[in-house]
Structure 1
Amino acid sequence: MPRSDTEADWTAPVADDPWTHDTVSANGVRLHAVTAGPEDGDLVVLLHGFPEFWYSWRHQIPPLAEAGYRVVAPDMRGYNRSEKPSGVDAYHIDELVSDVAGVVHAFDRESAHIVGHDWGGLVAWQTAIDRPGLVDRLAVLNAPHPTKYERTLRSNPAQLAKSWYVGFFQLPELPERALGAMDYEAIERLLGEGTVRPDAFSERDIERYKTALDRPGARTAALNYYRALARRNAKLTLTRGGVGDLPVRAPTLLVWGEQDAALDVSLTEGLREWVPDIRVERLPDASHWVQFDAPQRVNELLLEHLD
């Protein structure tokens, strides 16, 4: 049976955090988003990864809002309450970048600070590459720069092996069934066993993630991110001379949990060729889910960087 759809399922566990649920029209799709902080504050857009939704920023939204930022954490297209366009091409990276631009413009801004984790980090990187005027400051959590990732896949067999799941996700229907099998046991293992801190995700937290992914069309939409990527021959851009040859102009913070089971720590090295103004912070006692393993440190780094 579908899980409950009560407002309590989507509200932060801290009663003193009065964020608001909004619907934002961006790039022709309706995106559900949580907003917080003063309306006249500098805009910060938080982009989640797979298989997540806005709730993945629950530890970051309150301190950013309290610091005076206008915080927007959308469910990316296809996830949770956001609209789920059909077809793989609807999840091409160009569409995802246009979604970010649409969110920024929906709040009557020309630019914003962009923060992304995992797939949201890939979109954040590409936004900074393709639309430099849109990004004031960039912060990425455990997501590789696109050119660095492409080159590492070609030269590092260990990273290629770690990325096996991308190939599996290309299959029709089977990945959707695997994600949903045994009441989303795969999600419970991914979140519950994939962190360094055993209490990073409560049972109620994991239930929220399962519920978000259980919405009609959500599993296919989430997997279509990977399918669209593979259709472009594992390149995030097509005709711009390379995956990410243009330098990232925005001051950039890269936060990396070193105990990432899917992404090699070598992806944090040698980035100044493409990102001249970058600060890399590697956290040895954190996993891919760095904002849950080390929320206080991540918040400190973000506030320092965005100031």
Structure 2
Amino acid sequence: MTRLTSYTNDGLVFDVADSGPADGTPVVLLHGFPQNARQWDRLAPFLHERGYRTIAPDQRGYAPGARPRGRYAYRVRALVGDTAALIETLGCGPVHLVGHDWGSIVAWSAAAARPDLVRTLTSVSAPHPMAFLRSLGSSTQALRTGYMLLFQLPVLPEFVLARAFRAAAAPRLRRYAARLSGLDGEQWDRLLREVVDGGALHYGLQWYRAMPIVDPRQARRPVAVPTTHVRGSRDVFMSRRCAELTARYATGPFRAETLDAAHWIPEERPAELAAIIAARAAG
């Protein structure tokens, strides 16, 4: 079987990391902000050991060949279209879909809009979009994600975040940054090199700036495929209420899991998360 190294959609070219047994059952991994497909490097080997093939794309704005201008190009409908195009390019039928953070929002939306392409869904950290919206008025969620309003500003978020990421990668602050985020020094170095210096940060922020361009019908759609939602008990960005409300938008078999982790579960708890993904896929 030929490995997939890239695919196209909307005239854009997306890079893909395709690894593991070539004849294995495919698991598509969608990264979050502010990362790329390398986010899954520590988790993928645990899935390979179980016989799964992993396909991790650099999503819109992160792949150098897929950086359209303007926030409208980064609305959820467009991101779902990219995921659908990837699965159709694979040509192996429906896949097990996994997403973290923003990748989880895309995965929820893809599973709702194109259930013919998704066998199972595992969402990590970020809940169903409607569960997130409902939690804003019934928990501490609005305080936890107030930064999203600041991300609507032009230029300033790029400047502030770039400086913050450089500071976190500095040797004298690495231990504190690791304790706060769950990312170690090597991972901060990679984020700085591939996302900040690689030019993806501005386009990743466009995902946030496209949030007001939302189709309410799309946001409300439930997911019927078998689903597992995974949250970290130490996640400072997502409240427990998000996870509690998520169950209401999964009409098929649903399971909720909590790991002793911060927000970046794929890096902090790769073995445990891989076991959860495999359990959902096998079930």
Q: Same fold (TM over 0.5)?
A: yes
One-letter code aligned to 1:282: T
C-alpha RMSD over aligned residues: 2.5
1:159 counterpart residue number: 141
Change (3 A) 1:204 1:96: same
Q: Partners of 1:123 and 1:170 in 2: how far apart?
A: 20
- Indicate conservation of the 8 Å contact 1:196/1:286, yes or no: no
Distance 1:187 1:21 in 2: 32
C-alpha deviation, 1:84, in angstroms = 1.0
SS at match of 1:269: helix
Match of 2:60 in 1: 77
Cα offset for 1:68?
2.2
1:182 Cα deviation from its structure 2 partner: 6.5
Read off the aligned partner of 1:223 and give its amino acid letter.
Answer: L
Counterpart-to-counterpart distance in 1, 2:265 and 2:133: 23
> Which of 124, 139, 163 is 1:141 aligned to?
124
Amino acid paired to 1:219: L
Q: Does 1:222 align with 2:204?
A: yes
SS at match of 2:233: strand
Secondary structure, in 3 states, of the residue corresponding to 2:225? Answer: coil
What residue number does 1:282 align with?
258
Partner of 1:14 in structure 2? none
Aligned to 2:272: 297
**Count, aligned residues:** 278
Please state if 1:175 is matched with 2:146: no
Contact 1:50 1:118 in 2 (8 A): yes
Could you tell me whether the CA contact under 8 Å between 2:183 and 2:268 is conserved in 1? Answer: no
Local SS of the residue matching 1:181 = helix
Q: Pick from 190, 203, 212: which aligns with 2:194?
A: 212
User: Comparing both structures, which one devotes a greater share of its residues to helix?
Assistant: 2
- Contact 1:77/1:83 (<8 A) preserved: yes
CA distance in 2, matches of 1:205, 1:140: 22
- Report the residue type matching 2:80 in the other structure: V
Give the aligned residue type for 1:112: V
Contact 1:286–1:293 (CA under 8 A) maintained in structure 2: yes
| TM value normalised by structure 2 | 0.89
Alpha-carbon distance between aligned partners in 2 of 1:148 and 1:76, rounded to the nearest angstrom:
24
- TM (norm. structure 1) is 0.83
Asked if structure 2 preserves the Cα contact closer than 8 Å seen for 1:254 and 1:279, the reply is: yes
1:267 maps to which residue?
A: 242
Give the Cα separation in 1 of the matches to 2:18 and 2:177: 28
Q: Is this contact kept in 2: 1:195–1:289, CA < 8 A? A: no
- Tell me the CA shift for residue 164 of structure 1: 1.1
Paired letter, 1:288: H
Change (3 A) 1:218 1:192: farther
2:32, 2:169 → 1: CA distance?
Answer: 13
% identity of equivalent residues = 34
Q: Which moved more, 1:81-90 or 1:167-176?
A: 81-90
Distance 1:147 1:202, change over 3 A: closer
The separation in 2 between residues aligned to 1:252 and 1:56, in whole angstroms, is: 21
1:139 offset after TM fit, Å?
Answer: 0.3
The answer for unaligned runs of 5 or more in structure 2 is: none
Structure 2 match to 1:120: 103
1:113 deviates by: 0.9
Query: Counterpart of 1:12?
Result: none
Shift of 1:194: 5.9
SS in 1 for 2:160: helix
Corresponding residue for residue 247 of structure 1: 222
